[in-house]
Amino acid sequence: IGMRQSRELGGEDLQRLEALDSEIEACLNDPKF
pLDDT at position 22, please? 92
What is the per-residue pLDDT across 1-33, written as a single tens digit (0 to 9) for each? 555 655 565 778 878 889 999 999 998 888 775
pTM, 2 dp: 0.49
pLDDT at position 23, please? 92
- Alpha-carbon distance of 5 to 18, in angstroms, equals 11
Closest C-alpha among 7, 6, 1 to residue 23: 1
